[in-house]
């Protein structure tokens, strides 16, 4: 596994663990692609011990704002809601500001909206987000007329994971790391 594959694996399986890339060849293009998978800092070689220590401290101090959750994937959180059989509206915000929501009824997906996308396509788009911020909408619990989801949660999660893996493989191939 190369470095980029390791980072992608870490962001996918351990999103709460902060990661910093150290490189002697950090181009703006590589930096942009790293930010897309959730790497917030790139230290360029050579660097001093103080710079490394400051970078580590900054990354360990990052916490989500009050009322939001971070460090858990949407798919893991949806599984918890399903196990508890909860009815709620889960709001999700991606790293670049994109927003979406899942309407859940007795733990099952009832609707999903993400930008212009509705239903299952909206769900797949949100499931592909790395390290989203999650919260609940306590004001608007009504089910929207559009964006209904008929696919069971496990089927949504499996298809969402497949799509995310394919997208990640394409990104890794494009970088050539």
Contact assessment for residue 101 and residue 113, using Cβ atoms and an 8 Å cutoff: yes
Greatest CA span in the chain, whole angstroms? 57
Q: Which two tokens stand for residue 21?
A: 């890339």
Q: How far is CA 22 from the centre of its chain?
A: 23
Type and span of the H or E element at 105: strand 99-105
24-66: pLDDT as tens digits: 877 888 777 777 776 778 888 888 999 999 988 887 776 655 5
**Residues whose CB falls within 8 Å of the CB of residue 51, separated by 6 or more in sequence, listed in order:** 43
- Its pTM stands at 0.61
Question: Which is higher by pLDDT, 176 or 111?
Answer: 111
Rounded to an integer, what distance in angstroms lies between the CA atom of residue 79 and that of residue 157? 9
């Amino acid at each position: 596994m190369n470095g980029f594959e390791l980072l992608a694996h870490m962001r996918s399986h351990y999103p709460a663990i902060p990661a910093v890339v150290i490189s002697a060849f950090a181009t703006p293009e590589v930096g942009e692609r790293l930010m897309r998978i959730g790497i917030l800092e790139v230290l360029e070689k050579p660097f001093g011990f103080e710079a490394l220590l400051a970078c580590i401290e900054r990354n360990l101090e990052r916490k989500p704002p009050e009322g939001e959750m971070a460090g858990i994937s949407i798919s893991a959180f949806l599984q918890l809601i399903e196990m508890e059989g909860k009815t709620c509206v889960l709001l999700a915000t991606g790293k670049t500001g994109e927003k979406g929501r899942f309407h859940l009824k007795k733990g099952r997906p009832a609707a999903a909206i993400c930008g212009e996308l509705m239903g299952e396509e909206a769900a797949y788009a949100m499931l592909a987000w790395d390290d989203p911020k999650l919260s609940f909408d306590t004001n608007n619990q009504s089910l929207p007329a559009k964006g209904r989801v008929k696919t069971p949660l496990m089927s949504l999660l499996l298809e969402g994971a497949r799509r995310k893996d394919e997208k990640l493989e394409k990104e890794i191939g494009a970088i050539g790391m």
